[in-house]
Amino acid sequence: MGKKVCIIYNTSKKDAIKFYEVSKEFFESCGVEVLSEIEGSNFVVVIGGDGTLLQASKDIARQNKFAIAVNMGSLGFLTEIRKDEALQVYKDVLDGDYELEERHMLEVEVKGEIYTGLNELVMTKGGVLQKLVRIKASGEHYINTYRADGLIVATPTGSTGYSLSAGGPIIRSNLDVFLITPIAPHNLSTRPIIIDGKEEITLRLDETGNSAYITIDGANSIEVTENDLIKIRYSKKRLKLVVPKSRNYYSILREKLKWGDLIC
């Protein structure tokens, strides 16, 4: 039976549309059937920025496929494959000469529903007129009650996203940990903390009369009150990404964050 690939691309970017056509032509010339659905494919190609991969990540992980993520965005921590090396990576994958890296996926339980995400859960105050929000966080034991604009619970993959902007550390993507980062905390001694990924984290709004909102990877905005318990754990599903041969985790950080470059 011949190989099949699903190609997902950012339909709003001209470069992504153009490279989709290049990729489609390449695979068809190799006798690979190009599909528009993940189901039935052997692997997935994602062409776009990190947002494109975030949107596709849940379905890719749920169906236990692996992805080649080609960067057409401006930064691309997740979409690590450069356009100029993508065709060679395609060839390597078809030849069986490739390595995969697995990324943890969040599983969030709230209001009787289960949501999944790759980067982070964010819990924030109910509106601009609400000065602060009080969030009680627990793991194996009680951790802290945060008074802040909000709280981020991130995976190692998500440590280079919103959490990084809020002052959190960068965590190597293969570590089994959670990162908790407060957003503009009232107490300046309240700092980000890294805890064991085997723990289940619970969050609860620690005040009456106010509400807060949670989002998972920037989507699924859900209003919560003091009566709602938010449970966060790691899913058994993982996102599997092809690793570029030419670079490693640290070289990608140096490239994306311009480490060692003269900024001024």
Contact 12, 6 (CB under 8 A): no
Angle in degrees, CA 64, 70, 75, rounded to 5: 115
The Cα-based distances of 96 to 3, 30, 89, 92, 242 in angstroms read: 12, 14, 10, 6, 11
Q: How far apart are CA 259 and CA 261, in angstroms?
A: 6
Residues annotated as catalytic are 50
Q: How far apart are CA 150 and CA 167, in angstroms?
A: 13
Q: How far apart are CA 53 and CA 47, in angstroms?
A: 8
The tokens for 228 are 């709602």
DSSP label of 81: B
Amino acid at 131: K
